[in-house]
Every structure is written in structure tokens, then in C-alpha cells.
Chains A and B, each alone.
Chain A
């Protein structure tokens, strides 16, 4: 009690309880408005893509029609066009195949590297870790010109293997960095215990550390996969044969034929990819953020 009165002496402007309730209500209303505004801003293009997917030409191409509802009954023709008359299914297949291949390469390279950086090399390890981070920040838009030379020299132009070769340049540094933080959080004592129990250092890592690092590994799998789905410039620069294209490139280049835009099919092509990728990504987002904010965020 005595403390409270002394506080009152320092700060005479305490709002009355009634006033505070009004403030809180106002804040709740404001909160709702803010959230509604941003949700619409973020999701609006997706709603638009979804509804355009099922619109007929006559409905879509009339400026006076309300664009947000079906003025004519919805149709599946646009989806049929997408799957029957374009290489859409092939592009999805290519994207998934590349994704899986890149995930495997990334795991092979990043897991041992991350462990070594987290545990074994002390001061040098720290500096190498920083270097990894710097490598991650070098963007494809800086490297694509020499990279396209490399691809030509290797004879991989117009082949999905060019992307499988090159994509780990951004997944490996990022995933090494992410896993490094993850492995640092596993106490070294557990490993020592394993050594005491008769495992070699290597055996200890495989049988004790890997199972503990499983959530980290899963995160790496998801992010390597989605990062390859997001990539654009290498895919644009290296591959121009339709059957070897990935989804981002196929959709943005082949559904526009000259001046003819197959808008509904483009929108459906987009939304079909966007939703599943977004859902997977969403589940792991907090780890992703923690991964590239260098532990500056502890939440």
C-alpha cells in the first residue's frame, strides 16, 4: 500500500478505472480495424486469383461487372485448359523433382558442416560460420552471369540439372547457418556421455545427436524445398525449353502467348501452387525467422 501511494506521488496522471476501460475498448476497436485492413491487403490478390480461376471469359472481360463475385455461373474450363493444353503438370513435376534433389544435396553438405561448425573448431568455427552467413547474403542476381557461363560450359543449359547443381548455393549456407544454431543448443554433455558409453565420436553423433536434431533437420528439409520453389532468376536464365521449366517460369512465360493472356488459367496455376507451399511454409515460419535473424531474436 505504501508503495502504491509513493508511486502516485511520482506520477499524478493515472487515468481513472473508467477512463482506462474506455481506452481499452478503443484500443480493441482500433486493433480490429488494423488487423482487418492488413488481412485484406495481404490476402486480396489471392482471393482475386481464386475467383478468377472459375470465371468465364464473358464474365471476366466486362469492366462493368463486379469483379469480386460470379456474375455468370463458374466454369472449370480454365483448369482444363491449364492441364490439357499446357505443360503445367510437367512444370509441377520438374519443380518437385528439383526440390527433392536439392533437399538431398543440402542435407548431405549442410548437416556435417553445421555440426562441425557448432562443436568442433572453436574460434575458427565461429569465423567460418560468419563466412557462411555472408555467402548466404550474396544474391543470385549478383552471380547469375558467371553462373550462366558455368552452365553453358558444363553443357547443362536447358536442363533441370543446371538448377539442381546451382540451387544448393543458397540452400547450403542458409541451412548450415540454421542447423549450426540448432546444434549449439544441444548440450555437449550428452555427446560426452555417449563417448563414455563406448561410442566413437562419430557413432555418438549419428546415434545420439541426429535424433535430437530431428526438428532442425525437418526445418531444413522444408526450407530447402520452398526456397527452390521461390527461386526465379537462375531458372529464367538457364532454362528456355518448355518441358524443362519450373513452375514459376512456366506460368509467367507460357500462359502469355503474344498478346493473348490466359488470365484465368494463369491465376489458377498460381493459386494451385501458392496455397500448399504457403501452408507448409507457415508451419515452420517461426524457425525460419529465428534462423536468419542470427539469434538476435529470442522469442
Chain B
């Protein structure tokens, strides 16, 4: 009895200490903690990403989803498709127009919101609503605002004489009682919703930037008697330039890859005047069942995203060094 227990306990102790050492060992602990997340991401992001690229070099469809051989045929077909070219142009155009205006408007709004005033939290809540609401829900609100007959915007336009009132008055814009926002003005309407949606986010980012400017810099400008506009353009803007860029780039990423607004509002329009890469890829790949062409269409977003990510990381690194 007494002779058998000591080796057992010693063995147990050794095993225990090995366990402890393992738990204390940095490398082991780190990889054990990282592994689940890494495995998940490799399986459900990495492999689909590679599959998306493979699909776009294949001729896979919903009916025969196997990748038989790789060729550039799909890319050729996609590039020759006028709707694809239109979508690519729209994606780039909508994104640049909406995000450029968003940066300007966001700066104005952030500046106005910097000072305290009564009811500020409520105003902030209202201004942030578009960003906090699920985008499909926000878009459906706009779908009704843009209604071809009952649009409340048209009602206002009729009241102030911009639109005609069923024959009895001639409107400044048109004698018709309605604008048909999602017809001829489709691109404008879509861009407006994109601005509406992204403005809160860029404003909050810019406000964070503005409040990070040290008070003594502002004081110095004031003591020196520098006017508001000069301070703004020669002191404030240069100081928060990286943050403006961050707000812009995030806006670009979200807008460029979005299909929800388009899907809810226009489905790309019958003449494809509001079709974008993401929505076209969806209609081709899922609704049309053409996996390879859908994937090839979507893959055109990848280089843009990679470029933007690189710039973002460079900004981040520079500000960390500082």
C-alpha cells in the first residue's frame, strides 16, 4: 500500500505541473485562444472567398455548380455585358458623389454640433437614427417618400409651386403633379438615401476628431485674432485630415458594397440606371442562377476594397506612431 502511492502521487503531481506549465506558456495559450476564431474564419470567409474567385474563372451555374475548368471566358462575357459596365460606373459614381457630399455635409454638421445647446442629446438621437436603423427598414420608409403618386415631397413641392396641381397651376419644375423620384431621377434619389444613411456615422467620427484638437491650439488661434474661417481651414482641417479620410473611406466601403438600398428602392431600375455591382451580382448569381457571372461581377469590388483597407491601415499606423 505505502509503496504504491508515492509513484502515483508523483505521477499526478508531474502531470499537474505540466498542465500548469502549459497554461502558463504564452505560445500555447495564445494559439489555443486564437484557434477557434481562426478556424471559423478560414472555413467561412477564406474558403468562400477563394471559391468566389474560382467561380468567376469557371462556368458554374445553379443547375451545375461544379467547377470543371478554369478560363477567362466568364470575365470576357462579364466585361462585354453593357449592364455590367453600367453597374460598375454607377457603383463608382454613386459612391464618389454621395461620399464626397457626405464629407462636406458631415463637417458642417459636426462643427455645428460641437457647441452645447439645450436638447442636444435629443437632436443627436434624431440625427443618428438613419445609421442606427436597419438599412432595409430605413429604405422602405424612403420608398414611400418617393411614391409616384402620394409622395409627401411632391405634396410640399405642389404647395410651394414647384409642381403643377392637376392642371390648375403650372409648376416651376414641371406642370405634372408628381416628380416620379424613382424614375428619371432614380440615381439622384438613390444617392440622397446613401447620404442620409452615412451622414450620422461620418458626423460622429468627425466630432470625435474635432474634440481631440487640444484646447490650447484653439486658444492660440483666438489670442492671435485669427478669424473663424481661417482657423477652420488652416488649423482645424489640417489637424483632423486623417480623421476626415477615415470617415470618407469607411463611407466609401459601406456605400460601394451596399445592395440593400438599391434592392428596396428600384431593384436596379428597368433601364439599369441605378444598377450597381452588388445588386447586379445578386440578380445574376442568385435570381438568375448564373453563379460564375455573379461571382465575377462581385469580385470587381475586391481590388477597390483592398486598396481602401491599405490606406486605412497606413493612417492607423501613422497615428499610432504619433
A90 at the interface (CB under 8 A from B): no
Chain A CB count within 10 A is highest, among B49, B152, B295, for B152
The reply to whether A296 and B257 form a contact with Cβ atoms under 8 Å apart is no
B23 at the interface (CB under 8 A from A): yes
Complex: how many Å from CA A148 to CA B56? 15
Which one of A76-84, A114-122, A212-220 is at the interface? A114-122
A281 at the interface (CB under 8 A from B): yes
The reply to whether A293 and B243 form a contact with Cβ atoms under 8 Å apart is yes
The reply to whether B144 and A120 form a contact with Cβ atoms under 8 Å apart is no
A-B contact pairs, 9 of them (CB 8 A): A7-B223, A42-B127, A42-B199, A48-B145, A135-B41, A141-B301, A146-B48, A270-B137, A286-B208
B200 at the interface (CB under 8 A from A): yes
The reply to whether A11 and B52 form a contact with Cβ atoms under 8 Å apart is no
| Chain B neighbourhood of A190, CB < 8 A | none
What are the 5 A-B residue pairs with the smallest beta carbon separation, nearest first? Answer: A299-B208, A112-B33, A120-B30, A139-B257, A146-B51
| Chain A neighbourhood of B260, CB < 8 A | 232-233
B271 at the interface (CB under 8 A from A): no
Residue-by-residue, is A138-169 near B (CB-CB < 8 Å gives 1, otherwise 0)? 11111111111110000000000000011011
Residue-by-residue, is A87-119 near B (CB-CB < 8 Å gives 1, otherwise 0)? 000000000000000000000111011011101
- Interface of B: prevailing SS: helix
A72 at the interface (CB under 8 A from B): no
Across the interface, name the chain A residue whose C-beta is closest to B224. A11
Q: Do A293 and B246 form a contact, CB below 8 Å, given A63-B155, A144-B282, A286-B208? A: yes
B residues 290-305 touching A (CB-CB < 8 Å): 291, 294-295, 298-299, 301-302, 305
The range of chain A's interface size is: 35 or more
The reply to whether B223 and A113 form a contact with Cβ atoms under 8 Å apart is no
The number of A-B residue pairs with CB atoms under 8 Å apart is 320
A172 at the interface (CB under 8 A from B): yes
Chain B CB count within 10 A is highest, among A109, A147, A148, A297, for A297
The reply to whether B23 and A252 form a contact with Cβ atoms under 8 Å apart is no
B92 at the interface (CB under 8 A from A): no
The reply to whether A42 and B130 form a contact with Cβ atoms under 8 Å apart is yes
The reply to whether A39 and B123 form a contact with Cβ atoms under 8 Å apart is yes
Q: Do A141 and B278 form a contact, CB below 8 Å, given A116-B34, A289-B204? A: yes
Q: Do A266 and B140 form a contact, CB below 8 Å, given A128-B34, A297-B208? A: yes
Complex: how many Å from CA A289 to CA B29? 30
| Chain B neighbourhood of A117, CB < 8 A | 34
Residue in A11, A112, A115, A237 whose beta carbon sits within 8 Å of that of B282 in the complex: A237
Complex: how many Å from CA A35 to CA B120? 10
A residues 32-59 touching B (CB-CB < 8 Å): 32, 34-35, 38-39, 41-46, 48-49, 52
The reply to whether B258 and A146 form a contact with Cβ atoms under 8 Å apart is no
Distance in Å: Cβ of B292 to nearest Cβ of chain A:
9
Complex: how many Å from CA A140 to CA B23? 37
B253 at the interface (CB under 8 A from A): yes
B45 at the interface (CB under 8 A from A): yes
Complex: how many Å from CA A229 to CA B125? 19
Residue in B45, B123, B133, B282 whose beta carbon sits within 8 Å of that of A278 in the complex: B133
Q: Do A35 and B302 form a contact, CB below 8 Å, given A274-B137, A277-B132, A285-B132? A: no
Complex: how many Å from CA A142 to CA B305? 10
A70 at the interface (CB under 8 A from B): no
